[in-house]
Amino acid sequence: MRKYRWLLGALMLALGAGHAFADGQKLRIITWADYVPADLVAAFKQETGIDVEVTLSNNEEMISKLRATGGAGYDLAQPSQDRIVAVQREFGIYRPIDLAKIKVEQFQPALLEVVKRNASLDGKVYALPYLWGTDGMVVNGRLATVTDYLDLCRPDLKGRTSIRLRRPALMAFAFGMGRDPFALYGNPRAYQALMDEVGAKIIACKPNFKFFYDNKDQLLNGIRSGELAAAMMWDTGGWTLNRENPDIRYVVPRSGALGWLDTFALPARGRNEAAAYAWINFTMRPQNAARVIRSVGNFSAAVNTGPYVDPRLKAQFAASFPDAAVKAIHWYPAIPPGLEEMEGKVLDRIKAAN
């Protein structure tokens, strides 16, 4: 009997080792479309032997899936930096980043500090910067001139502008009105009062909006056709249109562009932390980060990517973002609980207004 028990134990140990080995050869990432290009996956597997399994998602779905499993099911997630702290405080779905396992010299120091500031809790860092971009405006220079968000409401542009009726529009109009909504995140009453003001401003501007756009193709085609002279738009959309028609350009508003940062974060119950760290360090090498830039069109938080980036895209970035414009970007901070509910009611009120 003891002999059989020994054999059974040895067999179970062997099976367990094989299972661990199999897990060690797979990295499960939940991320956004185009953030994990196939050529990067192939290069990573060739170097490490690790397979990459990608699940496409967005902020809301990432949170939902990780909440449902208590932080299991994935080894690496890529939420936006403003969607981490409140979720972590309430649900504990992430684990802290061990900076000793990260090649921090591969990250742009300024962007690393932004994420450390907005994605840290109780002295622990829960994310690292990956990709970033901005919301500003796009304009057809043959049809109009604009310098700030509220120009979209000028009488001469009636029926010829557009915004997307989401929270970025509320933030943009607040900054355009000379107010800082992020400074009021800790004061719900003052924040509600500001959102009411912004809502009233957008309602008054409704005659100027040809439509509230629902998807990128609707907006891009509206600008291409000349139906729209100007609109609130993301940077890569503006640069795409500029390559087609040099009269169309992305404009960084005088009151500052709105900046988002998507990150690397470690789910609390991921099985393959070592592979996640290996992927982060691999992805942030300049040549590999440039592959991601080519795939997405946005810029990486990695350093020294310039020699590997399409010269046209580099030139467009430089034209849109001189140093002063980069320093003036309003990065989305962590969102306190309750604010999005306030914003949702204001957006509903705008939509319903005649």
**Spatial separation of the C-alpha atoms in residues 343 and 151, rounded to whole Å:** 22
Query: How many Å apart are CA 351 and CA 211, to the nearest integer?
Result: 11
User: Pairing between strand 209-212 and 161-163?
Assistant: parallel
So what's the pLDDT on residue 354? Answer: 84
Mean pLDDT of the chain: 93
Query: What is the C-alpha to C-alpha distance for residues 63 and 188, in angstroms, rounded to an integer?
Result: 24
- Who wins on pLDDT, 268 or 12? 268
Are β-strands 248-251 and 124-125 bridged in parallel, bridged antiparallel, or unpaired? Answer: unpaired
Is the per-residue pLDDT at 141 higher than 70?
A: yes
Flag whether pLDDT at 24 surpasses 80: no
> Residue 142 gets which letter from DSSP?
T
- Residue 95's SS3 state is strand
Q: Where in the chain is the domain with CATH 3.40.190.10?
A: 2-132+260-311, 133-259+331-352
- In the structure, how many helices (H) and strands (E) does the chain have? 14, 15
Share of the chain above pLDDT 70, in %: 93
For the stretch 41-79, pLDDT in tens is: 999 999 999 999 999 999 999 999 999 999 999 999 999
Look at residue 12 in the predicted model and tell me its pLDDT.
38
* Cα–Cα distance, 240 to 333 (Å, whole number): 28
The model's pLDDT over 173-227, given as tens digits with 9 standing for 90+, comes to: 999 999 999 999 999 999 999 999 999 999 999 999 999 999 999 999 999 999 9
| Confidence label for 322 from pLDDT (cuts 50, 70 and 90) | confident
Residue 222 has what DSSP assignment?
H
- Tell me the average pLDDT across 18-36: 75
Residue 3: which pLDDT band, with cuts at 50, 70 and 90?
Answer: very low
pTM value is 0.89
- Say whether pLDDT at 8 is over 70: no
Instruction: Kindly tell me if the per-residue pLDDT of 21 is higher than 50.
Output: no
For the beta carbon of residue 328, count every other beta carbon within 10 angstroms: 15
Do the beta carbons of residue 99 and residue 125 sit within 8 Å?
A: yes
CA distance 247 to 139: 8
What's the pLDDT score for residue 255?
A: 97
pLDDT at position 10 is 38
CATH code: domain 2-132+260-311 is 3.40.190.10
Closest CA to 61 of 83, 41, 81: 83
pLDDT band for position 7 (50/70/90)? very low
CATH, domain 133-259+331-352, list 3.40.50.1580, 3.40.50.720, 3.40.190.10, 3.40.30.10: 3.40.190.10
* Contact call for residues 78 and 127 (beta carbons, < 8 A): no
pLDDT of residue 327: 86
Q: Using alpha carbons, select from 55, 28, 83, 25 the residue that is nearest to residue 260.
A: 83
The confidence band for 339, taking pLDDT boundaries of 50, 70 and 90, is very high
